[in-house]
Amino acid sequence: MARTLAAKLIESHLRDGTMTPGEEIALGIDQTLTQDATGTLVMQELEAIGLDRTRADVSVQYVDHNLLQADERNAEDHTFLRSACRRYGLWYSKPGNGVSHPTHMQRFGVPGASMVGSDSHTPAAGSLGMLAIGTGGLDVARAIAGEPVHLRMPEIWGVRLTGKLPPWVSAKDVILELLRRHSVSGGVNRIIEYHGDGLAGLSAMDRHVIANMGAELGATTSVFPSDDAVAEFLRAQDRADDFVPLAADEGAEYDVTDEIDLSTLVPLIARPSAPDNVVPVREVAGTPVSQVVIGSSANPGLRDFAIAAAMVRGRQTADGLSFDVNPTSRQIFADLTKMGSTFELISAGARIHQSGCMGCIGMGQAPAVGHNSLRTFPRNFPGRSGTREDSVWLCSPETATAAALTGEITDPRDLGMACPELALPERASVDTEMMEAPLPPDQAAREKLVKGPNITALPDFPPLPDRIEAPVLLVVGDDVSTDEISPAGARALPFRSNVDKLADFTFTVIDPDYPARARSASEGHIVVGGANYGQGSSREHAAITPRHLGLRAVLATSFARIHWQNLVNFGILPLEFADSADHDRIGTGDVLALDDVRARLTDAAEITVSNTTRNETYAVRHRLSTRQVDAVLAGGIIPQLARRPS
């Protein structure tokens, strides 16, 4: 039977379960990726489970998010991460070496390999024909320890690409078109597999743009074939021997299908404040802009910066506008400089920043309130920029640069200039000096973890009680993101290794009083959510800090995949309404009761929740496997492991 590429990749790594959509499967993992905003917890978890050395073929820790060292906390975390890499046998990518996803492609990506990463944009590696999945940090820690990763078998969504992109339209417009069609939940429990003749015009880094933002569709991952474009990319990195051709079988059938004729696409833009709020650029042309930022893992390729440089050559950016450029890796920065593009950008008024995520995670570059910021980033959730009342738009480098020149949103086709033709180098400026290799096992065993005072122990959570009776402290609507649950930004992220301090930021984007009310609710509390609860970042802080504040259960219409698993991992009970209308019947302050919880989780999929305030009952269900039920009952994965007989 003809098979899809995604099915082949899953089958080659399947350790348990059957490949039936919705059924739980276990996958063996070849590579792991961590970054500093989530990696400190991963390293603390490795210590908690008593790991001696990574069992994965390749494990890499990147420092790319928290690069601003306004005080000692970020520097202490970097020192801790390096010591953990030396202790556990991981590669360490130094601060400023580059954003994890493009840098991993350059140095370690291998067609056909499996990878999990504690970053939701890990699927970007699917551009090389990898099976790359974003998960919470605890799942990555277990993969580092050699254990399989569990997930529900996704449907395979085949997206056929035909035609060729017209001038001024690029890969960002392809993924924005999918978001326009299908929304931020359109890919939930699906793997997006791209195929068709249109692939011939997309480079490996173009595919990275599309695979990266598949996370904004809620997809488990995205997969591209490993073909001539991948071979060309690996040759440029001096890694031609790592190339393996991979593709779907002729006539392979997909569970879901879609088709995009690339030649029909136009420049698109996502309005504030959701990645799927997409319209043609001409529809909003003329809107004033005060900031343009180019960079991030969503548009990380040399081409994405070179096109901006070519557009501003001999010109000056608009008065009153900040034009910010964040090179995504030191290697790309070197190539950009060799081409003369760095000079063109600086001459046009660009502010060149260090190689890292920067404003994408709210670490600097926060826009002014009431002013529009155009960014080539993957997300524009409310407050993610570091400004509580922000106005962030997502677009291609071409559209962003057009606005930088005019000071207003402008379709690049209306600039009155020809689309530049780029001559990119065939060989990259390969530089491995900022990658510290793992120590030999005997030397690593003697290494000690270096912990500053801001790195605290992980909380010890008790088992799930048999009865939960607690107030509802928060009722939220659809598509609440982990950025709204556990905010990023320069104020909060320095506390990512200090759960008690970070907890004071929990839900403050939605309700500034939530942490104080949660700390005073001695009996614990419950949160009620809408559809796609917990979308966005994989950060497990969005589970661990509410749990630290007493959250015992979340009742929602539906959950985003990674956050749902993170709730389980830290002993929070995720329940879905049998009737979505019940969401609107519950108010903040209502007291909900769940009886015989432990027995009901074990014996039945449906549970009755009593609203003692309104004298109502609601039917809810869980989708937990037996393995997940055991974890929730134990209070989470770490207590479960700790209580196993030695």
Q: What is the pLDDT of residues 454-482, one digit of tens each?
A: 888 888 899 999 999 999 999 999 999 99
Give the largest Cα separation in the chain, rounded: 72
User: How many Å apart are CA 641 and CA 637, to the nearest integer?
Assistant: 6
**In the predicted structure, residue 376 carries a pLDDT above the cut 70:** yes
Q: What token pair was written down for 327?
A: 């090179």
Quote the pLDDT of residue 1.
87
User: How many Å apart are CA 148 and CA 383, to the nearest integer?
Assistant: 35
Helices assigned H by DSSP within 350-498? 397-406, 441-444, 482-485
User: How many Å apart are CA 78 and CA 436, to the nearest integer?
Assistant: 13
CATH homologous superfamily of domain 5-264? Aconitase, domain 3 (3.30.499.10)
Q: What is the pLDDT of residues 543-562, one digit of tens each?
A: 999 999 999 999 999 999 99
Quote the pLDDT of residue 644.
61
Q: Name the residue type at position 496.
A: R
Among residues 204, 11, 15, 218, the alpha carbon closest in space to that of 110 is found at 204
Q: Name the residue type at position 52.
A: D
**C-alpha dihedral sign at 625, 629, 635, 641:** negative
Among residues 410, 413, 425, 403, the alpha carbon closest in space to that of 308 is found at 403
**C-alpha dihedral sign at 424, 206, 6, 136:** positive
Phi/psi-derived region of residue 433, left when phi > 0, alpha when psi is between -120 and 50, beta in every other case: alpha
Q: What token pair was written down for 525?
A: 């509390």
Q: What token pair was written down for 473?
A: 């402290």
% of the chain residues with pLDDT over 90: 85
Residue 281 contacts residue 395 (beta carbons within 8 Å): yes
- Give the phi and the psi of residue 18 in degrees, each rounded to 5: -115, 150
Quote the pLDDT of residue 603.
82
Cα–Cα distances (Å) from 408 to 125, 262, 465, in that order, read: 34, 26, 56
pLDDT band (50, 70, 90) for residue 172: very high
**Beta strand pairing status for 573-577 and 131-134?**
unpaired
20: helix, strand or coil? coil
Radius of gyration of the chain (CA): 24
CATH class of 468-642: alpha beta
- Give the phi and the psi of residue 157 in degrees, each rounded to 5: -105, 110
SS3 track for 170-206: CHHHHHHHHHHHHCCCCCECEEEEEECHHHHHCCHHH
Residue 29 contacts residue 221 (beta carbons within 8 Å): no
Structure letter (DSSP) for residue 459: P
If you write DSSP's letter for every residue of 390-416 in order, what string do you get? --EEEE-HHHHHHHHHHSB---GGGSS
Q: What is the pLDDT of residues 34-79, one digit of tens each?
A: 998 889 999 999 998 889 999 999 999 999 988 777 778 888 889 9
Our measurement of the distance from residue 191's CA atom to the centroid of its chain's CA atoms, rounded to an integer in Å, reads 15
**CATH number for the segment(s) 268-414:** 3.30.499.10
Which residue is associated with the tokens 């998010």?
65
Residue 129 contacts residue 230 (beta carbons within 8 Å): yes
Q: Give the start-to-end residue ranges of the domains of the chain.
A: 5-264, 268-414, 468-642
Structure letter (DSSP) for residue 364: S
Helices assigned H by DSSP within 158-301? 171-182, 204-212, 228-236
Q: What is the pLDDT of residues 225-253, one digit of tens each?
A: 999 999 999 999 999 999 999 999 999 99
Taking residues 252-261, report their average pLDDT: 97
Prediction pTM value: 0.93
Q: What is the pLDDT of residues 288-342, one digit of tens each?
A: 999 999 999 899 999 999 999 999 999 999 999 999 999 999 999 999 999 999 9
Taking residues 177-195, report their average pLDDT: 97
User: How many Å apart are CA 174 and CA 616, to the nearest integer?
Assistant: 47
Q: Name the residue type at position 543.
A: A
**Beta strand pairing status for 291-295 and 373-375?**
parallel
**In the predicted structure, residue 604 carries a pLDDT above the cut 80:** no
**In the predicted structure, residue 642 carries a pLDDT above the cut 70:** no
Taking residues 411-428, report their average pLDDT: 95
% of the chain residues with pLDDT over 70: 99
Which residue is associated with the tokens 């009342």?
389
CB neighbours (10 Å) of residue 377? Answer: 30
Q: Name the residue type at position 440.
A: P
If you write DSSP's letter for every residue of 555-588 in order, what string do you get? EES-B-HHHHHHHHHTT-EEEEESSGGGGGG--T
**In the predicted structure, residue 643 carries a pLDDT above the cut 80:** no
Q: Is 590 exposed, middle or buried (0-12, 13-18, 19+ CB in 10 A)?
A: middle
- Give the phi and the psi of residue 630 in degrees, each rounded to 5: -60, -40
First to last CA, the chain: 46
Fold identical between 5-264 and 268-414?
yes
Which residue is associated with the tokens 């509410």?
546
Strand partners, 292: 323, 374
Q: Name the residue type at position 159.
A: V
